[in-house]
Structure 1
Amino acid sequence: MRLFLSVFILAFLAQLFLPWWTLAPLCFGLAAGLGAPGGRAFGAGFAGIGLGWLLAAAWLNVRSASILSHRMAQLLPLGGSGWALVLATALLGGLVGGVAALAGSWARQAVRGPVLVAGK
């Protein structure tokens, strides 16, 4: 939960000033620094970035009356559905965040050894 909240909040702040691809090093560093195991790191990165992008894309879609998203969805095989584009955006962002966080978790394991989870 701590990794998810860290990714969600810091990614929101980073996207205000930095390009989209800075999310990958952010997720990598947070997962490596907080020491989450692989599956949890992927889930936190996927959910943190995916939810952030979903909320941002949905807000922009509603505020623009779906004009831009409808036009962009016509260029892609989405049948012109602006909401399908919003979901595709969230899925793509989630995958970037999840894979980067998983890589960070694996990098930490390579350096320090596997993470021990209490109760297992």
Structure 2
Amino acid sequence: MLFLIIIVIAFVFQLFLPWWIISPIAFGVALWKANSGAHAFWSGFFAVFVLWILTGLFYTIPNGNILANRVGAMLGLPDITLNWVIVLLITGIIGGVAAGFCSLAGYFARQAIVIPNKAGI
């Protein structure tokens, strides 16, 4: 559920806001909904990873992968026809790590604010 909430809200907000909007979205959603640290991190990571891979495919396939191949050449990747796949994976990993750590921070912020009552009182 956390995965779907992050991916939908991030998709909508990234249509008209900068790329870094994934950070406060992942933080806020994990602050509200995450069950554990691992759940928060991996949900944030995979939500943005999938979102950015799909968005990259949406933009790169119609133009014949020209821009992605040029970015791959700038990064010093070997001159192969699948540079665009490597560029998309790098992009997804970078966005996923950023969102994953922000989600984890949101979960830990909730743990710091809400102290569970272990005595049952």
Structure 1 residue 33: Cα displacement: 1.1
| Identical amino acids, percent of aligned pairs | 36
Aligned partners of 2:15 and 2:35: how far apart in 1?
26
Name stretches of at least 5 consecutive residues in structure 2 with no aligned partner: 117-121
Give the corresponding residue for 1:27. 26
Paired residues for 1:1-120 under 5 Å = 2-80=1-79, 81-113=83-115
CA positional deviation for 1:55 = 0.5
TM-score (norm. length: structure 1): 0.89
| Distance (Å, rounded) in 2 between the aligned partners of 1:7 and 1:53 | 12
In 2, Cα distance between equivalents of 1:35 and 1:95: 17
**Which runs of 4 or more aligned residues in structure 1 lie more than 3 Å from their structure 2 counterparts after TM superposition?**
none
User: Which of these two proteins has the greater Rg computed from alpha carbons?
Assistant: 2
Instruction: Judge conservation of contact 1:50–1:93 (CA < 8 Å) in 2.
Output: yes
Root-mean-square deviation over aligned CA pairs: 1.2
Which structure's residues are more often helix, by fraction? 1
Q: Distance in 2 between matches of 1:76 and 1:28?
A: 30
Please give the secondary structure, in 2, of the residue aligned with 1:106.
helix
Superposed CA offset, 1:34-66 (max 9, x none): 143100000100011110001111221211101
